[in-house]
Amino acid sequence: MLTTVYLIAITAEAMSGALAAGKRQMDMFGVVLIAFITALGGGTVRDMLLGNFPVNWTQHPSYIYLTITAGLMTMVVARFMHRLQQLFLILDAMGLVAFTIIGCNVALALNYDLPVVIMSGVITGIFGGILRDILCNQTPQVLQKELYASVSLLVAGLYLTLHDAGFDHDLTLLASFSCGLALRLIAIRWQLSLPVFSYSPERWQD
């Protein structure tokens, strides 16, 4: 199941990357590259950080083709995207949660300590979007908008708690996935967000 969700997630992330590239008037190559990096960048950073070579996607050419196709398709269907916005947000939320769980599993298999496992999950979940925003020269939105990175953190925490408590693997997976997805969709619906830290040096110096 996780593999199916992962493929859907890659596609959704690639499309979000392509749209961001389009907002910067990139050429077709730029669109495809940003799509690729948004979809597979989180896992790439994780693997490079954990010394987990070869990096995952280098062993799965099909992931490369899938993200390229998704990027190109987005250029064609962009004008209909606003009608699909609801669907798109759901796919993106599924991606966030699936990426996080996969990231935890990779670090678990490498026997890293618990806090590193959690960070591995979160990095896999959110770094594709962060790289997308860096390449498109904007402040990372996942660190500013409604609950997003924190959903990833919560999913990682829940997954590892259930995992350590010895629950059935499928149950653990299903519970973490559902809770994460629900929280993310609730956050979008009611615009829930973490407290924002707004600091302007001048304000305090008067």
Structure tokens at 200: 């302007």
Q: Which residue has the tokens 């997003």?
A: 148
> Within 13 Å, how many C-alpha atoms sit on residue 187's CB side?
20
- Which residue lies nearer to its own copies by CB, 37 or 98? 37
Q: Which amino acid is at 2?
A: L
Residue ranges that bind its own copies, judged by CB under 8 A: 18-19, 21-31, 33-34, 44, 48-51, 53-55, 58-59, 61, 64-65, 75, 78-82, 112-116, 119, 130, 134-140, 142-145, 149-150, 153, 193-201, 204-205
Q: Is residue 101 within 8 Å of 173, Cβ to Cβ?
A: yes
- Which residue lies nearer to its own copies by CB, 178 or 193? 193
**Helix 169-189 / helix 149-164 crossing angle, nearest 10 deg:** 160
Shortest Cβ 168–its own copies spacing (Å) = 28
Would you give the DSSP letter of residue 82? G
Q: Burial level of 112, CB count in 10 A (0-12/13-18/19+)?
A: middle
- Which residue lies nearer to its own copies by CB, 170 or 201? 201
Shortest Cβ 174–its own copies spacing (Å) = 25
Report the distance separating Cα 24 and Cα 29, nearest Å: 13
Shortest Cβ 107–its own copies spacing (Å) = 9
Shortest Cβ 176–its own copies spacing (Å) = 18
- Which residue lies nearer to its own copies by CB, 186 or 194? 194
Structure tokens at 173: 């997976």
- Which residue lies nearer to its own copies by CB, 16 or 176? 16
